[in-house]
């Protein structure tokens, strides 16, 4: 069964003609692919040529990118201005899209409805009440802290007689004299 390499336009412009590559059935050639030595050589040459073309295309692309960057620099546009232009253009496209216009109209209708206005008023009133309540709590806390500052500080604890007696007693219990009793 022949393997066919398709016609294609090479990078250098020459037309690569189709080739029939016969698969070696008798075991002659590469043991891994079943190709004859000649077919394997042709494929390796084609692969090397294709890889060279890919490398050349990468170099050409890199040179073109550098050239485009130089032109942008001369025009005074950099990557950030391009991003800004792309975002502006994208936002303009969004604003003119049917979905955006429909959503905007729907939101406008909702914001003009009586239910929305009553809900907005209720939320505003609740916010004002919460603010007033928190203010009252803050005033009460401030007043209580002021009262606490006015109180005299408690005196530090004084060592008691029981403590001064118990400390030597503890050390005496572990002494050899005490253990002898």
pTM as predicted: 0.31
Cα 134 versus chain centre, distance: 38
106-159 residue pLDDT tens: 999 998 999 999 999 999 999 999 999 999 999 999 999 988 888 887 777 666
Q: Are 16 and 8 in contact (CB under 8 A)?
A: yes
The pLDDT of residue 62? 96
- Res 147: pLDDT: 87
Determine contact, residues 13/22, Cβ cutoff 8 Å: no
Contact 172, 178 (CB under 8 A): yes
**Residue 60, both tokens:** 């050409």
DSSP 102-118: HHHHHHHHHHHSHHHHH
pLDDT at 177: 65
pLDDT (tens digit per residue) in 37-95: 999 999 999 999 999 999 999 999 999 999 998 998 888 877 787 788 889 999 999 99
Q: What is the pLDDT of residue 63?
A: 97
Euclidean distance between CA atoms 76 and 95, whole angstroms: 28
At residue 150, the pLDDT reads 84
When comparing pLDDT for 6 and 117, which is higher? 117
């Amino acid at each position: 069964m022949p393997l066919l390499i398709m016609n294609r336009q090479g990078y250098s412009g020459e037309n690569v003609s189709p080739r029939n590559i016969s698969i070696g059935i008798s075991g002659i050639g590469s043991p891994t692919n079943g190709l004859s030595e000649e077919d394997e050589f042709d494929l390796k040459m084609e692969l090397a040529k294709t890889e060279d073309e890919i490398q050349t295309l990468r170099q050409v692309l890199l040179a073109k990118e550098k050239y485009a960057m130089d032109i942008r620099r001369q025009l005074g546009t950099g990557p950030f201005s391009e991003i800004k232009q792309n975002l502006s253009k994208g936002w303009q496209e969004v604003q003119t899209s049917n979905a955006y216009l429909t959503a905007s109209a729907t939101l406008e209708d909702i914001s003009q409805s009586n239910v929305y206005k009553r809900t907005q008023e209720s939320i505003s009133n609740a916010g004002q009440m919460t603010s007033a309540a928190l203010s009252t709590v803050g005033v009460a806390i401030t007043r209580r802290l002021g009262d606490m500052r006015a109180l005299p500080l408690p005196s530090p604890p004084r060592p008691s007689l029981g403590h001064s007696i118990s400390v030597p007693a503890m050390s005496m219990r572990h002494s050899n004299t005490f253990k002898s009793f």
